[in-house]
Structure 1
Amino acid sequence: MSGDLVAELVSEVPFLELSIQIPQGQTVAILGPNGAGKSTLMNMLAGLLRPESGSIAVGERELVGSTTFVPPHKRGIAMLSQQGMLFPHLTVAQNVAFAPAAAHLSRVEVRSRTKRWLDAVDATDLADRKPGQLSGGQSQRVALARALAADPDLLLLDEPFSALDVDVVHRIRSMLRRILLDRTRTTLLVTHDIADAVTLADSAIILGEGKIVAQGPVRELLASPVNQFAAQLAGLNLISGRWSGGVLESGRFAIAGMVDETPAAGASAMAAFSPRAVAVYREPPSGSPRNVVKGVVVQVVPQGDLARVDCLVGDGVVTAAITWAAVSELGLVADDEVALVIKATEVTVYPAR
């Protein structure tokens, strides 16, 4: 049975307090910094954590309530995380067939679903291989097919691309976009990459400290004044400008990147990239990196095991995440002039709508 997802969740440890309602067939991106509550939300929906109070319903089925707690394997929910976690002793085809076979469907239906989803993820030629014979991208495609073969009412994607190479991510993202367009399931996508949200999601929810900070259509969030705040919560740099000559022009500098959807010439566009994609130099490096911009260090502060270096670039701030060894070697302090090199392969450029 399919239908809208309605969840009201409260938990003190780990902290979470939110209410969401997602129409059937919609894809919603869940964004936010580490510790915002993204994984807690996904685990509660999947049944791996139990809220202290609240409810979860998919359509007419109550999964969590005052006297109800449906176990994970009976929820009609499939979850795909960073690591596909394929069964190592089964072939690719047997992995994909596992859920429909466990549901006691006919052999004809099991074979049909297996073929359908292997075809959908372009993995038919991998059917007889074991997981140990697959690359990271192949494993994740097969794991996606296995999740979809369960015919879930709710599909949970928890940073499914984060362990993959950049070129593989673009291929799988395009493939997943085609699959989600069938609108036969509700999907929640946890991601740190705004490109995922723009490409795959109908709307987004921004979490901060266990609560909803902002929500709405993805492109509206990106185009509105709250966008910088939302991008900062998601741990991303975001630059707006106009598309010209194959680059995003923003004030006195230009940014080149990977283009998922080419903006019209002269149209407003945005570039999103992780602070980890930004290298800091005292002087512009030799060679010919595509993205080199001048900045002034505003502050250097701890961010986990790394240092966050906020730099004033034009009228905005670009953040780099570098090692403390690099900070020490460069002798970085506030007001230093620096050259920032932004990896073009890790910048996603898209139209602002």
Structure 2
Amino acid sequence: MVKRINIDDFLKMQREENLPIIDVRSPIEYSHAHIPDAYNVYLFNDEERKNVGTIYKQVGRKEAVLKGLEYVSVRMTDILKSIDDIAKNYNNTNKILMHCFRGGMRSESVAWLCSSYGYDVYVLEGGYKKYRNYVLSSFEKKYRIYLLTGRTGSGKTLILKRLKDKGFNVIDLEKIAKHKGSAFGWIDEGEQPSQEQFENLLSCELSKYDINSVLWFEDESLLIGKRAIPKSLFNNMRDAEKIIYLDIPQECRAFYIVNTYGKYSIDDLRESILKIKKRLGGERLKESLELLDSGKMYECVLNMLYYYDKAYKLSITDDEERLVSIECKNQNFDEIVDSILARVKC
């Protein structure tokens, strides 16, 4: 059986019935961006897709179909075996979700093959393109946001992790972007996802929570590494329902940064410092690098915090109705979380 369904039903079935999503686009399309947790079982490889597309445009549909059948005929068994292997991870379900780019010939062809083999196939109407419309529209919604802010080294990420462990709804933008946000944020994080995949992952996280529930975010710049927070969501963050400002002494923040980044190689740290050389200025850059090379990491961090603290602006507001200032004498994160929750109603 093959049934075409809309994007809302498609994602609802994935979520509620725990069904696998089969993405039949080419590997290069999938690797650029895809629905989170989807599996790539391609109909055409990258070169084959290019060839079929060229024939379709230059010769005609029938000739393109014949060339496509030529490619696929030798791989039909492998396609079915791949889907069988995936289904084993879902209690050998005979129900699968499927899509191509526009919901056209590729998904129709593989859906027919899988249906003939015994699967119930639910094909996404409009394909991945329709999913992208869904993703972009999700950022236009008005979310209830509590924004955690504070100067560099305040430990905001760890505090949000503790809040998440306590059951609060946390959207970890830095984890999704694979970047910690600062000039040092790329270290040990690997390659960032594409902008499109970052948006897909972020939309997926947002969809896990009721629109009326409070979502906790860390205050970020528009760019996290090379990935941009969608503008509508970024504006929503700027207009947060509550802004929790952590007022932590510079010395404590310097120790936190040393403990976080001090384990990394001198070469990576040097490269990170050089990224902000224009902002540090020649003299402060020279001092920072000399301190780093001499093993005085704490002093190096203090020297750079001059730049970071000078550049910092309390991101949002002095509106007393929205701003909650938490004065912290140290970085006992459990105590800080308790202080936040004592001051903020969720």
TM-score by length of 2: 0.23
Which protein has the larger Cα radius of gyration, Structure 1 or Structure 2?
A: 2
TM-score by length of 1: 0.23
Q: Which structure dedicates a bigger proportion of its chain to helix?
A: 2
Q: Which structure dedicates a bigger proportion of its chain to strand?
A: 1
